[in-house]
Chain A
Amino acid sequence: MSRTRESLAQIAVERVWKLAYGAKYFDESTEVIVFGSMSLGLERPDSDIDVLCVGSHEFKLKTDAVDLVGVPIGQVGRSPWFESELASHIAEYGTWIKGSSHWACKAKIGQHALDNKRRRITAFLRSLPGVWLRLDEGFRVKYSVKLRRETQRLLLMERGTPVPPTKILDSFWNTVSKSPFDVHDRLRRLTPCSHSQFIEDLLDRIDTHFSAVQTAPRHLPSESLRRLASLF
């Protein structure tokens, strides 16, 4: 169920206040924004809360309960920030619990963010085939999930669409995808032909995931559905 701005603020305050100097992060920020699955009401019971603080420092702080990212105020006014994957996600799905979204209208996925996403996927596809059969099954699962999600993100970013929370990629891809084979097609195109055994195994795992999702009962909160429908 989607949460109100007030309830998100309450959860954020409760969790961030528990951190050392927690109150300071909020006090010194001109903007505090909740983003990710919780902002859209898609969190699991054990989900952390994603919070962006626009203030004087750049920092990252992660615990089981909170994922806190700090961006300097001078940075949010510049193109590298509002052309980033994170900025476009926050502009679309974030809930401002302090300050206003003055930069959100400028957020648009830029070429650098696209290049970086392609670089990341290509780097994995370059290094994984040589070790794939030696990797523990747990790692093969990890990389098949990672490559699927990153490819889904790339496909959306290429359409200029802000990347939604991971839950959408995992469980509701058919609502946002243009073709049921788009992830496969892209991964095949990015993988050298000589690595057919690796790519076939990788795609089998991705198929298994999508098949399982299609047969599982799913429920997307109506507010989330409305927001997604307006995007895709």
Chain B
Amino acid sequence: MIGEGLGEIAAHFEFSGFSNGAEIETEEERPVTEDAESDTDSEEDDDSDDHGTDYFDREEIEVAIDAFISHLLSEKLIRKSNSGKLPSFSEVFEKFFGKGHEITAKAESFEDYIKGYFGWISPEDMRSAHGEFVEIQEIVEEAEKGDSDVAD
């Protein structure tokens, strides 16, 4: 069921031009958004902060992660803390697999890559985040397959 929830994040990566084992789409292939257009029109002359259309919005992946956590909550796989606090992405894996498990480390590394800078995630960080995400999916898939084999 964690794997099912991860579909929320996988869908976001696919929309952003990533799919498992595939490279990022070129700029021409990606849908041009309003943001990208307004960014191109920016008169900012300092190129250090000039992000082209290859950059990704941190906000969109934040929403996808929250949809993933919502799925786990609705399936009653996780619970809110007594104070109502919701777990982070890596805390979910820590709960299921333990702090020392490689999937928890990958989830923490994923969170680092998508931190972004003033809301922007670079193509390199997005690619690395996607790499970690694919491996997380594979580990979850294996674990869930193992569980169902035991049940059979």
Contact = CB atoms under 8 A, between A and B. Distances in A.
Contact of A116 (B12, B34, B71, B119): B119
Interface size class of B (residues with CB under 8 A): 20 to 34
A124 B63 contact: yes
A189 to B, nearest CB: 12
Interface stretch (B44-52, B97-105, B123-131): B44-52
B80 A138 contact: yes
B57 A119 contact: yes
A127 B80 contact: no
Interface stretch (A128-136, A176-184, A205-213): A128-136
A123 B39 contact: no
A120 interface: yes
A123 B35 contact: yes
A111 B44 contact: yes
Contact of A126 (B48, B49, B60): B60
B70 interface: yes
B67 interface: yes
Given A127-B63, A131-B8, A139-B70, A122 B35 contact: yes
A224 to B, nearest CB: 28
Contacts of B108: none
Interface in A46-76: none
Given A134-B67, A135-B70, A138-B86, A115 B57 contact: no
Interface size class of A (residues with CB under 8 A): 20 to 34
A205 B49 CA distance: 35
Nearest to B8: A131
A79 interface: yes
B39 A128 contact: no
Contact of B59 (A79, A127, A134): A127
Contacts of B39: 115, 119
Given A120-B119, A139-B66, A112 B35 contact: no
Given A123-B57, A127-B59, A118 B38 contact: yes
B107 interface: no
Contacts of B69: 136, 139
A41 interface: no
Contacts of A115: 38-39, 42, 44
Interface of A: 78-80, 110-112, 115-116, 118-120, 122-124, 126-128, 131, 134-136, 138-139, 142-143
9 contacts: A80-B46, A116-B119, A119-B38, A120-B119, A123-B35, A124-B59, A127-B59, A136-B66, A138-B86
